[in-house]
Amino acid sequence: MRIKSFLIVLFCSLGLLQAQEKISSPKLYLNIIVDQLRTDFLYEFSDLYGEGGFKRLLAEGRVYPNSYYAFENVDRASAVAALATGTNPYVNGIVGERWFDRTTLRAVSSVEDKKYKGLYSISPYAPTRLKAITITDEMKRASRGKAFVCSIAPDEDAAVICGGHDANVALWKNNSAGFWSSSSYYGVFPDWAAKMNKVVQGRSAKWKPLFDTEKYNNFGDDAPNSFSYLFDGKNNVKSYKTTACMNDEVAEMALAFLKDGSVGYDDIADCLSLTFYAGNIDGNPMEYRPLEVQDIYARLDRTLASLLDEVDKLFGLENVVISLASTGYVMVSNDDGAEYRLPSGTIFMERVQALLNVYLAAIFGKGEYIEGVFGSQIYFDNELIERMKIDKLDLVSRSVEFLKSLDGVEDVFSIYHLGGMLSPELQYVKNGYNQACSGDIWLRLMPGWKVAGSSLTLTNEVYRTPVMFPIIIYGAGIEHDVVEGMTPANILAAEIARLLHIRRPNDNCLRIF
């Protein structure tokens, strides 16, 4: 009996040790977001890759090749917020990079906050407009604030949102002077970043094809023969941020941070978030610069390979969880629509505003009923409507019917469309809406049409065909798998929380709309 009891205790102890080994947390979560990375291009350009970057991730990681965002009008900020929080703009409050602010009657940045001061910048930024909890916030909670979180991106919205509400460091490239910048929200500017500013400030960079141009044959023989761009480090910073050179600099900053010794050296999982770029230079549509698009994928592959090798040397990839995802939108153009007799056109929102105001004045009396427009959204003057004792539902309903009659308008939605049980299409619309910053009415344009207006508005073509992008999870304890089928972007936060043994963000649901 004593021997039997001893064996039971021994087996239980071994089982407990095995359980403890299974729940040990990684040392580092490396979160990689690539702006405008596309699944079709990722595979199509594979002849340009080495073995250590994209191919390694695709061959060894868990791959979701058909990921998508379950809301309309995706851009960089709204996509990054959706990945970080595992939810959509209706909950997290980030409907885009900018929106119309009713209190100031001007466009505001998704991360603007004048309560703070810029560091190496005059612009103040903070995550205060982000209304949902992020995966990094949960890392902070689980570690009682001991997890170290650093976010590095070319642009402030990606850097701030990826960092969450309690990041230790968030850095972005200043458009005016080329410095890496931050905000007083994060405390003192880190010494390692200040040293890097001395290195990169004024440093010139040249971008030309990595390979002989004959190798870039994915868009036919009509592609340009070559290209060459030179940047002096101070001017044209905004353009520089849309090149392969910027990706290399982000990786350079990441390695400087990792070698500084702030993360990855204890039993608490830390986080480094990096944002790279895979769109076209200056935000041009793909067809305008086909050679540059291919080269930026080829160079990013090398950059990722070097980064993964360095992370392996520092921590061992068995101790790191790595995710790669995309912002899932593309820049398109319909400038050639008329040339090929395609359905296309432009909605000028200033004209729409004037026409609608005349129509409403004829019904409800003289007044300026529209407070502002932004993109295809219309914001009514609620104070005027209340003062004139007008039924807002009646005013909105009449406006919707009037706007539906305009050329190029496929449908018109309002705040009154989004209550109760919704069809999948309306749920998709609602997911991209937020009461605090969205308009009272917004127009859905016909395919091929674009909206244009004043400096407050955006100019973009309607392109509602889903842009499939990859989510790849790689590293500690992850077996290779390819998950076919449509996968909502909120899967990322859920999977990372599981791998880090922490709670999912507080509104991360896995409903598929």
Q: What is the mean pLDDT of residues 482-492?
A: 94
Q: How confident is the model at residue 115 (pLDDT cuts 50, 70, 90)?
A: very high
Q: Binning pLDDT at 50, 70 and 90, where does residue 454 land? A: low
pTM of the model: 0.92
pLDDT attached to residue 457: 46
Summarize pLDDT for 300-314 with one digit per residue, the tens.
999 999 999 999 999
- Cα 89 to Cα 11, 99, 202, 369, 425: the distances in Å are 50, 12, 38, 27, 16
Task: Give the C-alpha distances (Å, rounded to integers) separating 320 from 28, 145, 311, 492, 505.
Answer: 5, 20, 8, 16, 20
- Residue 77's pLDDT is what? 97
In the predicted model, is pLDDT for residue 54 greater than 70? yes
In Å, how far are 99, 212, 326, 474, 488 from 86, measured between CA atoms? Answer: 21, 42, 14, 19, 9
pLDDT-derived band of residue 459, with 50, 70 and 90 as boundaries?
very low
Average pLDDT over residues 294-323: 96
pLDDT more than 90, % of the chain: 72
The 10s digit of each residue's pLDDT in 338-380 is 667 777 888 999 999 999 999 999 999 999 999 999 999 999 9
pLDDT digits over 60-72, tens only?
A: 999 999 999 999 8
What is the per-residue pLDDT for 65? 97
Of the two residues 234 and 499, the one the predictor is more confident about is 499
| Token digits of residue 177 | 């002077």
pLDDT band of 394, cuts 50, 70, 90: very high
Q: What is the pLDDT of residue 7?
A: 43
- Per the CB < 8 A criterion, the answer to whether 224 and 276 are in contact is no
Q: What is the mean pLDDT of residues 249-256?
A: 97
- Position 456 pLDDT exceeds 80: no
Distance CA 186, CA 387 (A): 43
**Which of 18-27, 111-120, 270-279 is predicted least confidently?**
18-27
Q: Please report the sign of the dihedral spanned by the C-alpha atoms of residue 446, residue 452, residue 453, residue 454.
A: positive
The C-alpha angle 21, 24, 25, rounded to 5 degrees, equals 160
Domains of the chain: 23-332+464-500 (3.40.720.10), 345-461 (3.30.1360.150)
Question: Maximum CA pair distance of the chain?
Answer: 96
pLDDT digit string, tens, across residues 126-182:
999 999 999 999 999 999 999 999 999 999 999 999 999 999 999 999 998 889 999
pLDDT in tens, 218-231: 766 555 678 999 99
What is the pLDDT at residue 292? 93
Q: Give the range with max mean pLDDT: 6-10, 165-169, 334-338.
A: 165-169
Number of other CB atoms surrounding residue 415 within 10 Å: 18
Task: Residue 279: name the closest of 448, 463, 76 by CA.
Answer: 76
